[in-house]
Amino acid sequence: MTEVAVIAYGAGNIASVQFALERLGATVRLTDDPAVIAEAERVILPGVGAAGYAMARLSELGLIEPIRAFPRPLLGVCLGQQLLFEASQEGEAVDLLGFIPGAVSRLEPAGPLPVPHMGWSRLTRDRDDPLLEGVADGAYAYFVHSYVCPDGPATLARADYGGPVPAVVRAANRWGCQFHPERSAEAGATILRNFLGLPEDPSC
What's the pLDDT tens digit per position in 13-31? Answer: 799 999 999 999 999 999 9
Q: Is the pLDDT of residue 83 over 60?
A: yes
* Total-model pTM: 0.96
Q: Where does the pLDDT of residue 145 fall: very low under 50, low under 70, confident under 90, or very high at 90 and above?
A: very high
Q: Per residue in 150-202, pLDDT tens?
A: 999 999 999 999 999 999 999 999 999 999 999 999 999 999 999 999 998 88
pLDDT, residue 204, reads 56
Q: Is the pLDDT of residue 139 over 90?
A: yes
* Assigned CATH class of 3-197: alpha beta
User: Any idea which residues carry the catalytic annotation?
Assistant: 78, 180, 182
How high does pLDDT run on average in the chain? 96
Bridge partners, 77 (sequence order):
177
Q: Per residue in 89-121, pLDDT tens?
A: 988 889 999 999 999 999 999 989 999 999 999
pLDDT, residue 122, reads 98
170, 156 contact by CB (below 8 A): yes
pLDDT, residue 86, reads 98
Cα-to-chain-centroid distance, residue 117: 16
pLDDT, residue 93, reads 87
196, 4 contact by CB (below 8 A): yes
